[in-house]
């Protein structure tokens, strides 16, 4: 359970950094008005992608541990 909270917190932090980078590098396209909301949404999106990749990794390693079925 602690590991999941750590992954969630890291993804939210990374999402905040991505949103900040977008705002700082393209201020005409990304305003400061919704910076918090964008950071949260980007972080949640990153979290979803990470969870999908973790599930795929789990399936891939589970199949390789089972060995070939003949």
Per-residue pLDDT band at 70 (split at 50, 70, 90): low
**Domain membership flag for residue 18:** yes
**Domain membership flag for residue 66:** no
* pLDDT score for 10: 95
pTM: 0.79
* pLDDT score for 69: 58
* pLDDT score for 31: 84
Please give the tally of structural domains in the chain: 1
Domain that holds residue 27: 2-61
Give the integer Cα–Cα distance in Å for 24 and 35. Answer: 11
Name the residue with tokens 């400061």: 32
pLDDT in tens, 7-40: 999 999 999 999 999 999 998 888 888 888 999 9
Helix (H, G, I), strand (E, B) or coil at 45: helix
């Amino acid at each position: 359970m602690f590991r999941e909270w750590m992954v969630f917190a890291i993804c939210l932090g990374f999402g905040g950094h991505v949103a900040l980078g977008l705002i700082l590098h393209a201020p005409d396209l990304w305003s400061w008005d919704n910076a918090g909301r964008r950071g949260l949404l980007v972080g949640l999106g990153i979290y979803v992608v990470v969870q999908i990749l973790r599930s795929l990794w789990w399936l891939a390693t589970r199949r390789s541990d089972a060995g070939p079925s003949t």
